[in-house]
């Protein structure tokens, strides 16, 4: 199930007519799914898929091994263009954001968007659309940076491009976990399976980005909820203190 839709039925004469309650549609989740599909479709139908990946995927070494990247002969293997890592902080920020909307294959995007469609509506309704969007993007950025630290400093493969919405979607799962859906925590156990599958099949699964995004989603949600509760308590205290 990709999109959660509330459907109501009413009887008119001798037939039943379905009515979609658009007010209950998770607008942000539907928009994010649509945007991911449009980016993938554009690359597929214009034969620019590989170009998009090379020019807008996130390169961990562009952040964490900056000096070495600038002076290394290996940097010549990267595409030379306005969005290449050598062109500064703005390019790195663009890649951090754009990489969330790029997928390697149909299988890659189907699995990611299926997960987003399944849990996104619950998470969006739990904390509100505005906070949901903020956490989605911040989780995606934190996921890429968490993955980048390990890739550049531990695994030594920081030149490998990172793409996919997995980190941001992991943040959405983190929202669900932080708002009471304990089953979302089981998702962390799946990462152990990813590690095993990736090592056996040589499939480049960025499980560290998944974990980083999930932790970011949990922490950010708890901070936002706690901050809102404190603000409400302070407002109530002021109201009671000013009452006659």
Q: What are phi and psi of 207, to 5 degrees?
A: -65, -25
Q: Does residue 149 sit within a domain?
A: yes
- Residue 182: pLDDT band by 50, 70, 90 thresholds? confident
How many angstroms from the chain centroid is the CA of residue 112?
9
Residue 99 lies in a domain: yes
Question: Tell me: the pLDDT tens digits for 18-35?
Answer: 445 566 789 999 999 999
Helices (H) and strands (E) in the chain, counts: 10, 2
Work out how many domains the chain is built from and give that number.
Answer: 1
Tell me, what CATH number does 118's domain have?
1.20.1540.10
- Helix or strand (DSSP H, E) at 194: helix 187-201
Whole-number Å distance between alpha carbons of 72 and 52 = 24
Nearest-CA neighbor of 222 among 95, 91, 131, 156? 131
Asked if residue 15 is part of any domain, the answer here is no
Please report the pLDDT score of residue 142 as a whole number: 96
Please indicate whether residue 162 or residue 238 has the higher confidence score (pLDDT): 162
* Any domain includes 1: no
Domain membership flag for residue 7:
no
Query: Within a domain: residue 143?
Result: yes
How far is CA 226 from each of CA 127, 177, 200, 219, 222, rounded to the nearest angstrom?
A: 12, 15, 42, 10, 6
**CB atoms < 10 A from the CB of 55, how many?**
20
124 pLDDT above the threshold of 60: yes
- The answer to whether residue 243 scores a pLDDT higher than 70 is no
Q: Is the pLDDT of residue 90 over 60?
A: yes
Q: What integer best gives the mean pLDDT of the chain?
A: 79
**Where would I find the H helices in 100-186?**
106-127, 129-150, 166-178
Sequence-separated contacts (24+) of 72-80 with Cβ below 8 Å: 74/159, 77/159, 78/159, 79/54, 79/55
Q: Name which residue leads in pLDDT, 65 or 175.
A: 175
- State the Cα–Cα distance between residues 29 and 211, nearest whole angstrom: 21
Give the pLDDT score at 24: 76
């Amino acid at each position: 199930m990709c999109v959660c839709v509330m459907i109501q039925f009413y009887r008119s004469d001798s037939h039943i007519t379905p009515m979609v309650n658009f007010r209950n549609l998770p607008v942000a989740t539907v928009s994010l799914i649509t945007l991911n599909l449009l980016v993938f479709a554009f690359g597929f139908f214009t034969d620019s898929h590989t170009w998009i990946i090379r020019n807008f995927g996130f390169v961990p070494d562009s952040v964490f091994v900056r000096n070495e990247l600038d002076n290394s002969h290996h940097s010549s293997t990267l595409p030379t263009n306005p969005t290449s890592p050598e062109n500064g902080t703005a390019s790195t920020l663009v890649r951090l954001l754009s990489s969330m909307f790029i997928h390697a294959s149909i299988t890659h995007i189907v699995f990611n968007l299926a997960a987003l469609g399944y849990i996104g509506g619950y998470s969006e309704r739990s904390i509100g659309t505005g906070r949901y969007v903020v956490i989605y993007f911040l989780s995606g950025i934190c996921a890429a940076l968490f993955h980048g630290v390990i890739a550049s400093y531990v695994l030594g493969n920081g030149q490998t491009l990172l793409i996919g919405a997995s980190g941001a979607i992991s943040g959405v799962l983190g929202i669900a976990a932080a708002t009471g859906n304990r089953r979302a925590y089981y998702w962390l156990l799946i990462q152990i399976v990813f590690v095993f599958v990736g090592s056996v099949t040589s499939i480049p699964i960025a499980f560290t980005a998944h974990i980083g995004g999930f932790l970011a989603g949990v922490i950010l949600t708890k901070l936002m909820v706690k901050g809102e509760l404190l603000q409400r308590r302070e407002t109530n205290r002021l109201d009671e203190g000013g009452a006659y």
